[in-house]
């Protein structure tokens, strides 16, 4: 009986989504050029071949969602726009499972990013690259630019938390999260649980979203965007490996080590923001309830040049909303300066 209801709901959703249900996940043409474990690197195809006079661009997505939020539709795609000016690469963190439970957080922000940068530099002949990180991807890019200052030309932090002090409701959840029990019993933080947490932050958000869908679903533009977003946010969750999640919560959210210049990799290499050289563009959003404005501040020890641009939108709106166009235009201007 329950199975039948579930099937009926799924059929209804698929019928409503119509042609958009088969939309590609990531719209810009690409090829997988590198694979190591779960991590993949995509290179985006562009007319006229590689750009040789500007450093290549590496997109670093969040660890808790899939990469294609930055390439969701033709109209909103960051990748599509950046690809006109730079040779673009994207990291896909894949779908980590129990086999990745023991990997430390530093593997993601140092070892794997280093592999990606090594590969790109080897392929393009460039000595430095530009990076754009979204959400936790920005945190990873920032830490990488502290650890390997000579390899990063410019870095863009798109709604990325760096200062975890009073990071809103996420801090409160992190403070009370049963980390010890979690490490003893789980191989990863399940993707759907993470997704539910974000739903809980705005308890009536789901209801409002459904209302909006019923009001506007006849507009094909809206429907396309809605289906694309839902497929990304609800239908494609990613697990967060246990040890990395534990370290992320305890070292960043609870102890705020990055901002206090006390973070270190597993092999005891210090993450020192004062060593950073790459010029930085911070793109943040006033209505961001996941990464409040003050959380995008760089550590006091960081003396590198920076620019801050604030948009009157939310955490996801800054990538796919109407302000996303401004954000990507400014980002490209910053990189071309």
Contact by Cβ (8 Å): 158, 327? yes
Q: Among residues 9, 32, 206, 207, which is the contact residue for another protein, using CB under 8 A?
A: 207
**C-alpha triplet 320, 323, 327: angle, nearest 5°:** 90
Per CB under 8 A, 104 contacts another protein: no
Cα separation of the two ends of the chain: 62
CA distance 330 to 58: 17
- Does residue 173 touch another protein according to CB under 8 A? yes
SS3 label, residue 286: coil
Of 16, 20, 23, 37, which one interacts with another protein (CB under 8 A)?
37
For another protein, give the closer residue by CB, 85 or 197. 197
Q: What is the DSSP letter of 157?
A: E
Smaller CB separation from another protein, 101 or 126? 101
Q: To the nearest whole angstrom, how small is the minimum distance from the Cβ of residue 212 to another protein?
A: 8
218 near another protein, judged by CB under 8 A: no
Angle between helices 205-216 and 191-201 (to 10 degrees): 90
When asked if residue 115 is in the footprint of another protein (CB under 8 A), the reply is: yes
Sort strands 188-189 and 240-241 into parallel, antiparallel or unpaired: antiparallel
Tokens of 112: 């794997």
Which of left, alpha, beta for 43 (phi over 0: left; psi -120 to 50: alpha)?
beta
Stretch that binds another protein, among 127-135, 148-156, 201-209, 256-264 (CB under 8 A): 201-209
- Contacting another protein (CB under 8 A), which of 62, 100, 163, 170? 100
Task: Please report where in the chains the tokens 């939020």 appear, as a residue.
Answer: 69
User: H helices of 217-321, where?
Assistant: 220-233, 242-247, 317-320
Look at strands 88-92 and 39-44 and give their pairing. Answer: antiparallel
176 in contact with another protein (CB under 8 A): yes
Taking the alpha carbons of 132, 135, 137, 140 in that order, is the dihedral positive or negative? positive
Closest CA to 55 of 82, 73, 77: 82
Instruction: Give me the least distance between CB of 177 and another protein, in Å please.
Output: 6
Told to check if 98 binds another protein by CB under 8 A, we report yes
Tell me how far, at minimum, the Cβ of 185 lies from another protein, in Å: 4
Select from 33, 201, 206, 270 the one that contacts another protein (CB under 8 A): 201
Q: How far is the CB of 229 from another protein (least distance, A)?
A: 19
Nearer of residues 96 and 133 to another protein, judged by Cβ: 96
Distance CA 309, CA 334 (A): 11
| Residue 195 touching another protein (CB under 8 A) | no
Contacting another protein (CB under 8 A), which of 41, 79, 101, 244?
101
CA distance 248 to 220: 40
Asked if 92 contacts 39 with a C-beta cutoff of 8 angstroms, the reply is yes
Closest to another protein by CB, 73 vs 171, is 171
The CA distance from 24 to 82, in Å, is 19
Contact residue for another protein among 84, 122, 322, 336 (CB under 8 A):
122
- Tell whether residue 15 is a contact of another protein (CB under 8 A): no
For position 103 contacting another protein by CB under 8 A, the verdict is yes
Which one of residues 196, 200, 234, 329 is an interface residue with another protein (CB under 8 A)?
200
DSSP 8-class letter at 110: I
Q: Is 248 in the site for another protein (CB under 8 A)?
A: no
Cβ 218 to another protein, closest distance in Å? Answer: 13
Our finding on whether 217 is near another protein (CB under 8 A) is no
Count of chain residues binding another protein (CB under 8 A) = 33
Give the footprint of another protein on this chain (CB under 8 A): 36-37, 98-103, 115, 118, 122, 169, 172-173, 176-178, 181-182, 184-187, 200-204, 207, 210-211, 214-215
């Amino acid at each position: 009986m329950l199975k039948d209801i579930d099937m009926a709901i799924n059929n209804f959703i698929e019928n409503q989504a119509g042609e958009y249900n088969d939309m590609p996940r990531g719209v810009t043409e690409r090829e997988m050029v590198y694979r190591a474990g779960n991590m993949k690197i995509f290179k985006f195809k562009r007319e006229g071949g590689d750009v040789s006079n500007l450093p290549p661009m590496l997109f670093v997505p969040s660890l808790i969602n899939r990469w294609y939020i930055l390439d969701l539709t033709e109209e909103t795609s960051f990748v599509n726009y950046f690809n006109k000016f730079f040779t673009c690469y994207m990291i896909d963190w894949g779908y980590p499972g129990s086999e990745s439970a023991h990997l430390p957080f530093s593997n993601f922000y140092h070892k794997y990013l280093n592999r990606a940068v090594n590969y790109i530099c080897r392929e393009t002949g460039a000595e430095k690259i530009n990076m754009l990180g979204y959400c936790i991807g920005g945190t990873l890019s920032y830490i990488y630019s502290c650890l390997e200052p000579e390899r990063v030309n410019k870095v863009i932090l798109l709604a990325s938390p760096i200062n975890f002090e009073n990071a809103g409701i996420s801090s409160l959840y992190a403070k009370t999260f049963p980390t010890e029990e979690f490490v003893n019993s789980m191989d990863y933080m399940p993707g759907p649980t993470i997704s539910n947490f974000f739903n809980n932050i705005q308890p009536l958000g789901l209801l409002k979203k459904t209302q909006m869908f019923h009001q506007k679903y006849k507009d094909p533009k809206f429907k396309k965007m809605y289906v694309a977003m839902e497929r990304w946010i609800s239908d494609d969750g990613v697990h967060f490996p246990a040890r990395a999640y534990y370290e992320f919560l305890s070292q960043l959210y609870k102890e705020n080590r990055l901002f206090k210049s006390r973070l270190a990799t597993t092999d005891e290499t210090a993450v020192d923001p004062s060593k950073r050289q790459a010029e930085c563009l911070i793109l943040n959003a006033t209505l961001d309830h996941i990464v409040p404005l003050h959380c995008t501040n760089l550590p006091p020890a960081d003396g590198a040049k920076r620019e801050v641009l604030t948009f009157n939108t939310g955490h996801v709106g800054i990538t796919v909303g109407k302000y996303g166009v401004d954000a990507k235009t400014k980002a490209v201007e910053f990189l071309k300066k």
